[in-house]
Amino acid sequence: MWLIIALTVLLIGLAISISWTRSRGAPWAPTPMSMVHKMLTMAEAGPNDLVYDLGCGDGRMIITAARRYGARAVGIELDPLRYLWCQLLITIFGLRGQIRIVYGDFFKQDLSEADVVTCYLLQDTNNKLEKKLKRELHPGPRVVSNYFTFPNLHLVRQDKEAELYMYLPGL
């Protein structure tokens, strides 16, 4: 009986966790690993880069940036369950020196240190985020968005088939 109650509470918690972040940026929709690699390759992420993932979810972007591309990474996550999950994963993988997870709203975080910004949000969220990116990013950082665009940022590369877009906000 206790197992059924525990599973029910867990499922309800997960349903709330998945849906409540939509109003604050985007619902959790994990980026497929093939797309993670395409995004980091498009951004030319490497050992000298600090990669920010806005709404880092389960951490796959920042963990891949660190393990496969040698980058340092910062994940910003609003959902407490996914934030804790990311903390656990970076500890298990021994990536504490390369990855930092920030609990909170990426609209309230300073992005000025980023060399690469990745995101898979919603169009309304990208529209609101444009001004922040223009204001905080110095010339040079690459912004790669999955599926949704930044209509007023300088588009420098796109993969129409994968629906990936890379921008240089400082131009």
Other Cβ atoms within 10 Å of 123 Cβ, number: 14
Tell me the pTM. Answer: 0.88
Cα separation, 128 vs 135, in Å, equals 12
Complete DSSP assignment for 16-29: HHHHHGGGGT----
* Band of residue 6 on the pLDDT scale cut at 50, 70, 90: very low
Q: Is the pLDDT of residue 113 over 60?
A: yes
- pLDDT of 13-66, one tens digit each? 555 554 545 455 578 889 999 999 999 999 999 999 999 999 999 999 999 999
* Predicted pLDDT at 99: 98
* Predicted pLDDT at 17: 52
Cα separation, 15 vs 65, in Å, equals 28
Which tokens go with 134? 């223009």
Ordered by start, the domain boundaries in the chain are 29-167
Q: Is the pLDDT of residue 11 over 60?
A: no
Q: Is the pLDDT of residue 151 over 80?
A: yes
According to DSSP, the β-strands at 50-54 and 116-119 are: parallel
In CATH, what is the architecture of 29-167? Answer: 3-Layer(aba) Sandwich (3.40)
Which tokens go with 95? 């990536």
Within 8 A by CB and 6+ apart from 52, the residues are: 73, 74, 75, 76, 111, 113, 114, 116, 117, 118
